[in-house]
Amino acid sequence: GAGVSQSPSNKVTEKGKDVELRCDPISGHTALYWYRQSLGQGLEFLIYFQGNSAPDKSGLPSDRFSAERTGGSVSTLTIQRTQQEDSAVYLCASSYGTGQFDTQYFGPGTRLTVL
Amino acid sequence: RKEVEQDPGPFNVPEGATVAFNCTYSNSASQSFFWYRQDCRKEPKLLMSVYSSGNEDGRFTAQLNRASQYISLLIRDSKLSDSATYLCVVIRSSYKLIFGSGTRLLVRP
């Protein structure tokens, strides 16, 4: 079946612009996660959705970052007034449930470059 | 100090070699443990879960030592296709994956 998809695959933007990154989870997966992978850093958790609700936004680095999920499916991560330090690969994952053994399946990521 | 620490490598080994990676975690409340594999410019994929009793999947063996708070991955009979970055992952709450920075493995002919 289809895996997690993300778009765009690459995004180059100028400092100060807003960007939107999209994630389509695996059909039937109720949980959706956003992570960020910066050069030389491990993956860091940003936010988690259960259905359309975000019980844990603790990883969002600043108030310029926001995310929403509609219809229990597609999610959008928005970064306002982008800065160069926002350059990273943004990865989305989904899982059937949120138990510790519910495998998180990752999408291919969006590579964001802020000039 | 990072919550999950790994030697970044690279580990450069010939085909057929046995190689082992270790990972340490700092939070004793960590509940679950995994190894993920990430190929260059690709997404991470689950390689195997790690259980207290140790577990094996073909050429791969994972061990957990809760007392010392470390996790290991052993790869026997290395293949060229094993070249990748291996990410150690722990879970504290039920869903939040905490990743190490990864250990890079290069298997040469």
Q: What is the pLDDT of residue A44?
A: 92
Which residues from A are below 8 Å from B when comparing CB atoms?
31, 33, 35, 40-45, 48, 56, 91, 95, 98-109
User: Which residues are CB-neighbours of A53 under 8 A, at least 6 positions away?
Assistant: none
Contact assignment for B97 to A56 by CB distance below 8 Å: no
Beta strand ranges found along A8-95 (DSSP E): 10-13, 19-24, 31-37, 43-50, 53-56, 65-69, 75-79, 88-95
- Please name the amino acid found at residue A90: Y
> How many Å apart are CA B22 and CA B72, to the nearest integer?
4
Q: What is the pLDDT of residue B95?
A: 79
Cα separations in angstroms, A107 against A67, B4, B54, B69, B96: 17, 23, 29, 30, 17
**Which chain A residues touch B103 with a CB distance below 8 Å?**
none
Contact assignment for B95 to A48 by CB distance below 8 Å: yes
Q: What is the pLDDT of residue A98?
A: 79
Q: What is the pLDDT of residue A2?
A: 83
Over range B8-26, report the average pLDDT: 95
Residue B8 Cα, gap to closest chain A Cα (Å): 10
Residue B19 Cα, gap to closest chain A Cα (Å): 22
What's the count of helices (H) and strands (E) in chain A, helices before strands?
0, 11
Q: Which residues of chain A have pLDDT under 50?
A: none
B29 has a pLDDT exceeding 70: yes
Task: Return the residue matching tokens 């519910």.
Answer: A102
* Closest Cα in chain B to A35: B97
Closest CB to B100 among A42, A99, A105: A42
Q: What is the mean pLDDT of chain B?
A: 93
Q: What is the pLDDT of residue B92?
A: 77
Over range B35-55, report the average pLDDT: 91
pLDDT band for B30, please (50, 70, 90 cuts): confident
Q: What is the pLDDT of residues B74-105, one digit of tens each?
A: 999 999 999 999 999 998 777 788 999 999 99
Contact assignment for A43 to B32 by CB distance below 8 Å: no
Structure tokens, B39? 């190929």
Closest CB to A100 among B32, B42, B100: B32
